[in-house]
Amino acid sequence: MDYKQKVTAALVQALDGQLTAEEVQAKLERPKTSDKGDLAFPTFTLAKLLHQAPQQIAQNLADKLDTTDFEKVEVVGPYLNFFFDKAGYSADTLKTVLTAGADYGQNQDGNNGNVPIDMSSPNIAKPMSMGHLRSTVIGNSIANILTKNGYHPIKDNHLGDWGTQFGKLITAYKLWGNEADVKKDPINKLVEYYVRFHKEDVDKPELDDIAREWFRKLEAGDPEAHKLWEWFREVSLQEFNDVYKELGVKFDTYNGEAFYNDKLAEVVQLLKDKHLLVESEGAQVVDLSKYDLNPALILKSDGASLYITRDIATALYRDRTYSPVKNLYVVGSEQTYYFKQLKAVLEEMGVKSAPNLQHVPFGLITVDGKKLSTRSGRIILLAKVLEESVKLAQEEIAEKNPTLANKDEVAKQVGVGAIVFGDLKNERTNNIDFVLADQLKFEGETGPYVQYAHARAESILRKAAHVDVTADANQLTDPLAWDTIKALADFPQIVKMACDELEPSVIAKYAIRLAKTFNKYYAHAKILTDDAELSARLALVKAVSTVLKEALRLLGVQAPDEM
Ligand code: ARG
């Protein structure tokens, strides 16, 4: 039983059940420093209920309390301060961490239930934006967190590889494009054609008719249109894969919008069977007034399908293939309304997993104050941001640790890790302005700071002759060691909280806290001094290294042993 539960149980008993365990737990506070106890119970809010002064309540409770589980319990004004049995607690915590290793914090809450995660999902023939980066790294981290909680995530890259824009692109390519240019620099070239199309069609509206005709041909399976589309898709995917490789993100499937083309007729039929389709100005829509939402447009008047039509087919497919216990869409908050409509349509259709559909939104990202937009041509390429970050990391390492072996590999881990961590440490719904140089600092709340704490721990362990993972932690008397132990003991709760909230920032903030606590300890304890506590200190360092590395792994960030 962990300490929070021990404290709760003792209080519930002393209160004669006047508060439930949950009510007690909600009131518990963590004192700022350990000399004021390890958990505190404030009594002000009980004054009304018990018709007594808070100080009196605290004193009465202390008199009644069963304190056998604790080192001591102190009354300070209206507070009851609990001090844990440090020796026992430290020994338990270190033993648990060191025997579990990377599995520490693993739980089976998810019962291996399937959780498709719609993530990344960039659009073919367009550069991957910072928004897609957010979706990729948030989705990837949520997948890791779900696995840690016993779920079975399926990372699904729902590529935007269908839609009328491909009619425009084919038109533009046939007018101004050539194969060799595209091969040299695929996405940039394709964007150039696309931008030119939008410039020229202002004066030449006939271009739009040609584009519509090409998309119609594409939908009808015309060989030339299909071949071009397939080629655009392939070269785009190659570029996307370079970014995924750099980020270390893998997908379980790349079924994009086009994959669902042949599944749309069934969707329309199902909607008809349920009498959900109504005609509106020639188009087919589903009325959602009962949900207080605008109608969902399913088929245009010319019979063309839409984004939502393909998403309904996708959800149906995932429902049948996976029977999802959760069905997640990691997509920017600008699509919040859209996902409400999608969920409502699926509920109307009676799709079994519809109630499990959850949009996991995130805020806008700007880089060094600049917004991204494909149309205007003012694009900050994601690949460029990563490249730049790795370059800065290289310079930093050249300055700080010029003799480091495998410098380039480490620079990559640090540079890419800085971007990923810099994103994930923010609550995902916040908008962020990304100042590249800030993310790379070895100080402050950055990825490199956490990586550096880990590397520091590893460097101590390399210097030590031998690390005894069964070392007796009873001997760790240092108060800063105690703070570090408590931070380690929090990890399993943190893993659960991150999963409940689908919030990687919970892990990132924890990693910063553990790194800070450890750095304080490290700065003042002489860890390698050969005395009776040496093996206990080394065991603590090993445990810190293990948990920092695991926390970073959950975020999708690497932890080099040296940097
Ligand atoms: N391709 C879309 C975009 O870039 C995101 C797709 C999100 N996933 C979905 N199932 N609708 O905006």
- What CATH number corresponds to the domain at position 388? 1.10.730.10
Residue 46 lies in a domain: yes
Question: Helix, strand, or coil here: 277?
Answer: strand
* Atom of ligand 1 minimally distant from the CA of 129: 4
* Atom of ligand 1 minimally distant from the CA of 131: 4
Residue whose Cα lies nearest atom 4 of ligand 1: it is 122
pLDDT of 176 over the 50 cut: yes
* Atom of ligand 1 minimally distant from the CA of 159: 1
* Atom of ligand 1 minimally distant from the CA of 314: 10
Beta carbon of 156 within 6 Å of any ligand 1 atom: no
Question: For residues 128 and 504, which has the higher predicted lDDT (pLDDT)?
Answer: 504
Residue 561 lies in a domain: no
Over the stretch 89-147, which tens digit does the pLDDT of each residue have? 888 899 999 999 999 999 999 999 999 999 999 999 988 888 898 999 999 999 999 99
Beta carbon of 118 within 6 Å of any ligand 1 atom: yes
- Length, in residues, of the chain: 563
Average pLDDT over the chain, rounded to an integer: 92
* Token pair 């302005």 in the structure block, residue: 433
Ligand 1 centroid – CA 539 distance (Å): 47
d(Cα 116, Cα 139) in Å, to the nearest integer?
Answer: 10
Residue 20 lies in a domain: yes
Percent of the chain scoring above 70 in pLDDT = 97
Ligand 1 centroid – CA 380 distance (Å): 20
Q: In which band, very low, low, confident or very high, does the pLDDT at 1 lie, cut at 50, 70 and 90?
A: low
pLDDT of 305 over the 90 cut: no
Question: Helix, strand, or coil here: 357?
Answer: strand
447 and 485 inside one domain:
yes
Beta carbon of 329 within 6 Å of any ligand 1 atom: yes
Ligand 1 test: best mutation among 133, 154, 334, 335, most atoms within 8 Å of CB?
335
- Range 191-198 average pLDDT: 94
Parent domain of 10: 3-84
Ligand 1 test: best mutation among 117, 121, 372, most atoms within 8 Å of CB?
121
* Token pair 């210097």 in the structure block, residue: 463
Question: For residues 435 and 31, which has the higher predicted lDDT (pLDDT)?
Answer: 31
> What type of residue sits at position 508?
A
> What type of residue sits at position 186?
P
Considering only 48-52, 363-367, 489-493, which range has the smallest mean pLDDT?
Answer: 363-367
161 and 301 inside one domain:
yes
79 and 167 inside one domain:
no
Residue at a domain's end among 84, 119, 140:
84
Beta carbon of 258 within 6 Å of any ligand 1 atom: no
243 and 171 inside one domain:
yes
310 and 202 inside one domain:
yes
Residue 99 lies in a domain: no
405 and 357 inside one domain:
no
* Atom of ligand 1 minimally distant from the CA of 331: 7
pLDDT recorded at residue 203: 94
Phi, psi of 365 (to 5 degrees): -125, 135
234 and 318 inside one domain:
yes
Residue 352 lies in a domain: yes
Beta carbon of 160 within 6 Å of any ligand 1 atom: yes
Residue at a domain's end among 84, 100, 131:
84
pLDDT of 538 over the 80 cut: yes
d(Cα 269, Cα 388) in Å, to the nearest integer?
Answer: 51
Ligand 1 centroid – CA 158 distance (Å): 7
Question: Helix, strand, or coil here: 13?
Answer: helix
Ligand 1 centroid – CA 161 distance (Å): 10
For the ranges 341-355, 419-433, 468-482, 527-541, the maximum mean pLDDT occurs at: 341-355
pLDDT recorded at residue 45: 87
- Burial zone of 203 (CB within 10 Å; 0-12 exposed, 13-18 middle, 19+ buried): exposed
d(Cα 194, Cα 204) in Å, to the nearest integer?
Answer: 15
75 and 161 inside one domain:
no
Ligand 1 centroid – CA 132 distance (Å): 9
Residue 562 lies in a domain: no
* Atom of ligand 1 minimally distant from the CA of 332: 12
- Range 189-204 average pLDDT: 94
CATH assignment of the domain containing 14: 3.30.1360.70
Residue whose Cα lies nearest atom 3 of ligand 1: it is 122
Percent of the chain scoring above 90 in pLDDT = 80
Beta carbon of 161 within 6 Å of any ligand 1 atom: no
**Cα-trace Rg, the chain:** 28
Residue 175's region, left for phi above 0, alpha for psi from -120 to 50, else beta, is alpha
343 and 402 inside one domain:
no
Residue 122 lies in a domain: no
296 and 212 inside one domain:
yes
Question: For residues 508 and 133, which has the higher predicted lDDT (pLDDT)?
Answer: 508
Q: In which band, very low, low, confident or very high, does the pLDDT at 377 lie, cut at 50, 70 and 90?
A: very low
pLDDT of 372 over the 60 cut: no
Q: In which band, very low, low, confident or very high, does the pLDDT at 376 lie, cut at 50, 70 and 90?
A: very low
Beta carbon of 136 within 6 Å of any ligand 1 atom: no
pLDDT recorded at residue 87: 85
CATH assignment of the domain containing 169: 3.40.50.620
Residue whose Cα lies nearest atom 11 of ligand 1: it is 311
pLDDT of 473 over the 80 cut: no
Residue 94 lies in a domain: no
* Number of DSSP helices (H) and strands (E) in the chain, helices first: 21, 12
457 and 539 inside one domain:
yes
pLDDT recorded at residue 219: 86
CA torsion 471-474-480-484 (nearest 10°) is 60
348 and 388 inside one domain:
no
Residue 122 is classified by DSSP as P
Residue at a domain's end among 44, 68, 84:
84
pLDDT recorded at residue 98: 94
Over the stretch 257-304, which tens digit does the pLDDT of each residue have? 999 999 999 999 999 999 999 999 999 999 999 999 999 999 999 888
Give how many domains the chain has, as a whole number: 3
